Chains A and B, each alone.
Chain A
Amino acid sequence: MSNITNQSLSELVKNIKDKKLSSEEVTNAFINRSEKSKELNAYITEDYSSALEKAKKFDQKPNLDLKLPGIPMAVKDLFCTKDVLTTAGSKILDNFVPTYESTVTQNIWDEGAILIGKLNCDEFAMGSSNETSFFGNVHNPIDKNLVPGGSSGGSASALAGQLTPITIGTDTGGSIRQPASFTGTVGLKPTYGSCSRYGIVAFASSLDQAGPMAQNVKDCALLQEVISTYDPKDSTSIDFKRNNYSSELTNKIKGKKIGIPKEYRVDGMPDEIEQLWQKGIEYMKDCGAEIIDISLPHTSYALPTYYIVAPAEASSNLARYDGVKYGFRAKGENLIDMYEKTRSEGFGAEVQRRIMIGTYVLSSGYYDAYYLKAQKVRKLIKNDFDEAYKKVDAILTPSTPSSAFKSGEKKDDPVSMYLNDIFTVPVNLAGLPGISIPAGHDAKGYPLGLQIIGKAFDEQNILNIAYAMEEKINFKNKINDWWIK
C-alpha cells in the first residue's frame, strides 16, 4: 500500500476490513504525515503514542463490525476528551484536562476510531480565519498565505492536508462550512438538536452544532451517522428517527425542487461566486432537479441578528472561566481584582470584544432594543425558510461570498470578517442543516464551495443532493504539499 493518507475514509475502512491494512499502519501513516506538517499548526495537542497503543490493541482483536474500525482521527479542540488537554484555543483553558468525554467524541470512539490529537481553532470558536487562537494561526494547505477559514480552521487544514482522514468541527455561524469551502473539503452542519452538545465547550448554546468534515460526501454521511444520537444529557437534543445516512445515500435526486434565494445575490459579491452559483444550478438541472426561484426576505437581517444573539449567549457561557475552579488564574489583590486580571489576560481580543457586545445587548435598558428584537427577527428568518420549504425540497447558495483570503487581511476589520458568514449564519439562526461541498476554483486556483440547505431533520436529502452534485462536479483539490520540506 504505497500511500495511505490520500485514501478516503471509505477506502481505509474497506482496506482495514479486508485486512489489507492494519490500524497501526494507518495510524502510523497519519502520525508521520502530521509530524511532517507542523508548519500548518493544525494541532494544539498531539496524542500520538497513546494513539499507536490503541491501534496496536485494536489490531490484536479487531472488531470489524464497527463503522470506524481502528481509524485514526484528530478532532477540534472544542470537544472535551477524557484525560487529554482541551483548550478551546484559549489561554484561559491552556491547562485544562477534562475527566469526561463529549457525547459526540464518545460515539466516535465507540465505533472504533482512535484519537490522534486535538486540532487548532479560533478561541472559543469565535472567528472566521483561525487567527484568534491562543496557539497561533493555522495555515491553509492550499497556500501558505491563506487562512483556512474558521473557526474549525485546524480541522479543515488537517483534513485537506491529509493529516486526518476525517474530522469533526462545530458550527455556530458557519464554522464548519466556511473552512470546508476555503479548503476544498466537505462539511455538514446538522439540524440543531441532531448532535449532542454535551461535553463541547459552549460558544452560543442556541446555535452551536457539532458536525462532520470529510474529503467526500459519502465519508461525511458515514461520520454523521456515527455522531448523531439522541442524548438525554443535552436538554436540546432531539429524539427523531435518524437515518443510516451512508447506506441510504443515493444520487437519484430527479424531480427534487431546488430553491434559489434571490436575496443571496449580495452587493459586491465577486463574479466568480455568481458564476459558481450558476454552474451549481446547471449541475442541479443535469441531475434532474427542478430549479425554483424563491425569496427569503429577511436574509439581510441575519448577520446583525446573529451578532447580537451569539455574543449575548457567549457573554454568559464564558462567565464560568473566572479563575476560581480550573484553567488559568492570574494573581489578584482580591476576588474582583483576580477576576479582572484572569479574564483580561486569559481571553484574547476577539473573545473580549464579543463578551462586551453580549454584555451590552443584555443590559437592562438595551435588552428590548437588541436581544429581544433579535429574537423576533430570528423567528422571522425561520418563518422565511418555513415558507420556502412549502415550495422546495432544498436551497442552493454559495457557501461564502469569496474564496479564502490572506492571513492578516481582515484581522483588524471585524465587520469585514463578520461578513464572511453572511450565507451560513441564517442556517444556524433557523436551526437547519446545511452542507458545503467543493464546487470549483477561482482564478487563483483557490477552492470555492456551494451550500445546500435542507429542511430540519432532512440531512439525508441534502447529503443525497450533495452526493449527486459531487459526481457531476468531479472536484480535484490542488494541494502541492508546500509545507513538507
Chain B
Amino acid sequence: MDQVSKSKSDYLISRKDNQYEVIIGLEVHAQVTSESKLFSTSATKFGAEPNTQVSLVDAAFPGMLPVINEFCVKQAIKTGIGLNAKINNRSVFDRKNYFYADLPQGYQISQFKDPIVGEGKVILDMPDGQKEVGIERLHLEQDAGKSIHDIDPKNTFVDLNRSGVALMEIVSKPDLRSPDEVSAYIKKLRSIMRYLGTCDGNMQEGSLRADVNVSVRLKDSKNLGTRCEIKNVNSIKFMQMAIDYEANRQVDLIEEGKSIDQETRLFDTKKNETRSMRSKEDAHDYRYFPDPDLLPLEISDQFISKIKNDIPELPDDKKKRFIEEFKLSPYEATILVSDIDTARYFENVVSKMGKNKDIKLAVNWITGELFAVLNNKNLEISQSPISAKNLAILVNLIKNGTISGKIAKTIFELMLDGDKDPQQIVEEKGLKQQSDPKALGALIDKIINDNREKAIEYKQGKEKLFGFFVGQAMKASGGKANPQLINELLKKKL
C-alpha cells in the first residue's frame, strides 16, 4: 500500500481574505453487543417495555455491588485490536459522580485515568486517497437510564432499561478536517465493529452516537483554537450539519474580533443550529476516583493473544485481498468491504460460481442491478430478495453464453419474485441464447435479402446501417440471438 495517495481535505471556510481550517475530534459512544449489562446480568434488548430489564444493581439498591461482565471486556479488547490499538494490561474503573434522576447510583462507573485500550489508528478511504485518523483511547463505561419529559406536563418519567448497559467510548485525536471525513470515520468505525460483532452500529436505536469537538484556525496556522463540544449527536447527517454550522459560527466570531468560549453545546435538529448548554465555569466537578467496589482490571498477554486469534478478517485486509485475489479495482473493493454483509454476499456469490467464473461481471451485477433494487425497496443486503447462490447462477449463465446480458436483465426481474432459480426461468420461458451459426446464418441471409437496398447502401460506405441489421436480427430471434455471433456473421455476409 506504499503508493496510495494521501487524501488532502479542501474543506475550508472563507471570509474576505481569510481561509479557516476546521479541526474536529470525536468521542464516539458505541453500545457493546452483549446479552447482559456491564456490571449486572440484566438483558439489554432494545425496545423492551420500560423498566423490565432492570436489576437491583442497575437501580442501585442499598448494598448492591457491581460485578464485571467478562464478555464486555473481551468485546472492548476485540475492538481495540480492530483499531490497531494498544491493549492495556491494567485498567481501572472510576466513579464519575453527578446527580441525575436517570443515574440511580449517583455516579457512572467509567474509566478515567487508566482506560482498557490506548492509542490506535484507523484508515479512511477518501475519494482522493487515504487518510489516517489517530485513536486516543477506548474505555468501558455504563450507560445511564432515560428521562422522559414529554409524557406528562408536570412529571418526568424514568426508564432504567438502558441503565448499566456497556458502552465503549472511542476518543479520536483531533485529526478530522471536514464533515466528509467525519462521515467516513464514523462509517469506518461502524464497519470495523460490525465485522468484529462488538457493536451493531445502529444509530436509530442509539447504539452509536457521538460528542463532536469542533475548533477552527487560520489555514496553515499551527495553534489549535478554542473548541466547543457538541453533545450526543446521533446521526452522521446531523454531525455534518452541526459541524458545518458550528465551524461557521466560530469563524464569524473570530472575524468579528470576538473570542470563542469553551463550552458544551447542543445541536437543535429542527432549527439546524447549535446552542450553548453549559459554559466551562458551569462544568461539573465529577470527583472521579477509583471505584472501591471493583478491583483493577488485570489482563494477561495470553488473554489478549487468545482474543487476537479469534479476530476475523477486517475491512482493510479484506480489501487488500479482494484487490490481489480477485483483481478488483480499489474502488470496487472499497464498496464491497465497507459493510460486512455486502462482503459476505459477494464472497458467497464468488464461491457459488465455481471454477470458470467472471468475478468482474459478478461485481457489476451486485453493485449495479442488485444495489439498485435494494435501494428502491429500502432493504439491507442481508434481506436481499435474490440469494447469492441464484445470482451466481445468473452470472454464470451470462458468462457461458447461455443467455445474453439483455435477457439476463429480464430474468433478473423475474427472479425478484420469490428468489427463483434463473436456470429454471431460462428453461420455462425458452430464453436460451441462440448460438448456432447455421441457424443464425440463415436468419441473417433472409434479413439481407429482405433489405437489399440498405445492404447496398452499407457496402457503399453508410456504416451506420450496421446497427440496423443487428437490430433486425435480434428482433427476428426474439432477443435470444447471441449478439457477438450476430456481429461476426453480419460483418462476413454484408
Q: Do A316 and B95 touch (CB < 8 A)?
A: yes
Question: B254 at the A/B interface (Cβ < 8 Å)?
Answer: no
- Which of B63, B99, B105, B106 touches A197 (beta carbons < 8 Å)? B63
Q: Which of B54-62, B136-144, B181-189, B382-390 contacts A (4 or more CB under 8 A)?
A: B54-62
Mask, B272-304, CB within 8 Å of A = 1, is 000000000000010111001111000000000
How far is B107's CA from A80's CA once the two chains are assembled, in angstroms?
A: 22
Q: Which residues of A contact B60 (CB under 8 A)?
A: 320, 325
Count chain A residues whose beta carbon lies closer than 8 angstroms to a beta carbon of B.
Answer: 42
Q: What band does the interface of chain B fall in when counting residues whose beta carbon is under 8 Å from A?
A: 20 to 34
Which residue in chain B gives the minimum CB-CB distance to A79? B63
Q: Which residues of B contact A80 (CB under 8 A)?
A: 62-63
Question: B314 at the A/B interface (Cβ < 8 Å)?
Answer: no
Question: B67 at the A/B interface (Cβ < 8 Å)?
Answer: yes
Q: Which residues of A contact B68 (CB under 8 A)?
A: 235
Q: Which residues of A contact B328 (CB under 8 A)?
A: none
Q: Which of A107-115, A198-206, A281-289 contacts B (4 or more CB under 8 A)?
A: A198-206
- Which of A93, A313, A315, A325 touches B59 (beta carbons < 8 Å)? A325
- Which of B59, B65, B292, B294 touches A198 (beta carbons < 8 Å)? B65
Least Cβ distance of A450 to chain B in Å?
A: 30
- Main SS of the interface on chain B? loop
Most chain A beta-carbon contacts within 10 A, residue among B61, B63, B105: B63
Question: A40 at the A/B interface (Cβ < 8 Å)?
Answer: no
Q: Which residues of A contact B106 (CB under 8 A)?
A: 316, 318-320, 322
Q: Do A364 and B287 touch (CB < 8 A)?
A: yes
A320-B106, A325-B59 in contact; A313/B292 too (CB < 8 A)?
A: yes
Q: Do A312 and B99 touch (CB < 8 A)?
A: no
Q: Which residues of B contact A364 (CB under 8 A)?
A: 285, 287
- Main SS of the interface on chain A? loop
How far is B287's CA from A316's CA once the two chains are assembled, in angstroms?
A: 9
Q: Do B156 and A335 touch (CB < 8 A)?
A: yes
How far is B65's CA from A313's CA once the two chains are assembled, in angstroms?
A: 14
Which residue in chain A gives the minimum CB-CB distance to B160? A325
Most chain B beta-carbon contacts within 10 A, residue among A102, A202, A359, A363: A202
Least Cβ distance of B67 to chain A in Å?
A: 6
| Cross-chain pairs A/B with CB under 8 angstroms, 24 sampled | A80-B63, A93-B62, A198-B63, A199-B63, A205-B292, A233-B67, A234-B65, A234-B67, A235-B67, A235-B294, A316-B106, A320-B60, A320-B62, A322-B99, A322-B106, A324-B101, A324-B104, A325-B60, A335-B101, A359-B287, A362-B97, A362-B289, A363-B285, A364-B285
Residues of A participating in the B interface, judged by any CB pair closer than 8 Å:
80, 86, 88, 93, 96, 98-100, 102, 197-202, 204-206, 232-236, 312-313, 315-316, 318-320, 322, 324-326, 335, 339, 359, 362-364, 367, 371
Residues of B participating in the A interface, judged by any CB pair closer than 8 Å:
56, 59-68, 95, 97, 99-101, 104-107, 156, 158, 285, 287-289, 292-295
Those 10 A-B pairs whose CB atoms lie nearest each other, nearest first? A319-B106, A205-B292, A362-B287, A206-B292, A199-B63, A320-B60, A201-B62, A80-B63, A200-B63, A205-B293
